[in-house]
Structure 1
Amino acid sequence: MSLNTLFPVQLQLCSLSSGSSGNCYFIGSSSEGILVDAGISARRIRKTLEEIGLSMSQIRGVLITHDHIDHIQALTLLTKKYRLPVYCTEGTWKGILRNRTTFDLDQEMFRPLKAGVPFSLAGFTVEAFPVSHDALDAVGYHIANSSRSIALATDLGVIGEAAAACLRRANVLVIESNYDEEMLLKGRYPQQLKQRVHGVMGHLCNTHASGFISDHYHPGISHILLCHLSAENNTPDKALQTLRQTLDRKGVSLSPATVVRALPRGSRSELFVIE
Structure 2
Amino acid sequence: MRLCSIASGSSGNCIYVGSEEAHVLVDVGISGKSIEKGLNSLDLTGKDVDGILITHEHSDHIKGLGVISRKYGIPIYTTGGTADAMLRMKSLGKMPEGLIHEIREDEPFGIKDLTVNPFTIPHDAAQPVGYRLECGEHSVGIATDLGKYNDYIVKNLENLDAVLLEANHDIRMLQVGKYPYYLKQRILGDRGHLSNENAGRLLCRILHDNLKAVFLGHLSRENNYEELAYETVCSEVTLGDNPYRSRDFKIQVAKRDHISEIITV
Task: Classify the TM-score, shorter chain.
Answer: over 0.9
The corresponding residue for 1:240 is 230
Distance 2:136 2:171 in 1: 39
Mapped to 2, the partners of 1:249 and 1:87 lie a distance apart of 39
1:75 maps to 2:62: no
> CA offset at residue 20 of structure 1?
1.6
Indicate yes or no: 2:206 matched with 1:202. no
User: Deviations for 1:159-181, whole angstroms, at most 9, x for unmatched residues?
Assistant: 13332111113221211010000
Deviations 1:33-53 (A, max 9, x none): 100001011221111111121
1: distance between equivalents of 2:88 and 2:65?
13
Aligned to 2:89: 99
What's the counterpart of residue 148 of structure 2? 158
Q: 2:121 aligned with 1:128, yes or no?
A: no
Aligned to 1:264, which of 255, 259, 264? 255
Number of aligned positions between the proteins: 264
Instruction: Give the Cα–Cα distance (whole angstroms) in 2 for the partners of residues 55 and 160 of structure 1.
Output: 37
Q: Aligned residues: percent identity?
A: 34
For residues 248 and 151 of structure 1, the distance between their equivalents in structure 2, rounded to whole angstroms, comes to: 22
Gaps of 5+ in 1: 1-10
Worse overlay, 246-255 or 17-26: 246-255
Comparing 28-37 with 229-238, greater Cα deviation is found at 28-37
User: Is 1:226 aligned with 2:216?
Assistant: yes
What one-letter code is carried by the residue in structure 2 that aligns with 1:261?
Q
Gaps of 5+ in 2: none
Does the 8 A contact of 1:20 with 1:70 survive in 2? yes
- Distance, in Å, in 2 between the alignment partners of 1:210 and 1:273 is 23
Match of 2:108 in 1: 118
Distance 1:146 1:23 in 2: 27
Q: Given that residues 147 and 191 in structure 2 are in contact (C-alpha distance below 8 angstroms), is that contact kept between their aligned partners in structure 1? A: yes
Moved more, 161-170 or 194-203: 161-170
Q: Give distance in 1, aligned partners of 2:206 and 2:17.
A: 23
Q: Does 1:55 align with 2:55?
A: no
Q: Counterpart of 2:137 in structure 1: which amino acid?
A: S
Looking at structure 1, the residues matched to 165 and 89 of structure 2 have their Cα atoms a distance apart, in angstroms, of: 26
SS of residue matched to 1:66? coil
Give the superposition deviation at 1:258.
1.6
> What is the TM-score normalised by the length of structure 2?
0.95
Amino acid at match of 1:229: L
With the length of structure 1 as denominator, give the TM-score of the two structures: 0.92
Q: What is the deviation of 1:256? A: 5.1
Partners of 2:42 and 2:65 lie apart in 1 by: 21
Q: Distance in 2 between matches of 1:257 and 1:212?
A: 16
Pairwise CA RMSD? 1.5
Correspondence for 1:18: 8
Q: What displacement does 1:72 show?
A: 0.6
1-structure distance, mates of 2:218, 2:117: 21
Q: Distance in 2 between matches of 1:181 and 1:211?
A: 14
More moved, 155-164 vs 87-96: 155-164
Which stretch shifts more, 190-199 or 44-53?
A: 44-53
Please point out which of 171, 174, 184 is paired with 2:174. 184
Q: Which amino acid aligns with 1:199?
A: G
Residue 64 of structure 2 aligns with an amino acid whose one-letter code is A
Which of 261-270 and 124-133 deviates more? Answer: 261-270
Contact 1:12 1:273 in 2 (8 A): yes
Please give the per-residue CA displacement for 1:98-125, whole angstroms capped at 9, x wherever unaligned. Answer: 1121251113201110000001113100
Q: For 1:21 and 1:208, how far apart are their aligned partners in 2?
A: 21
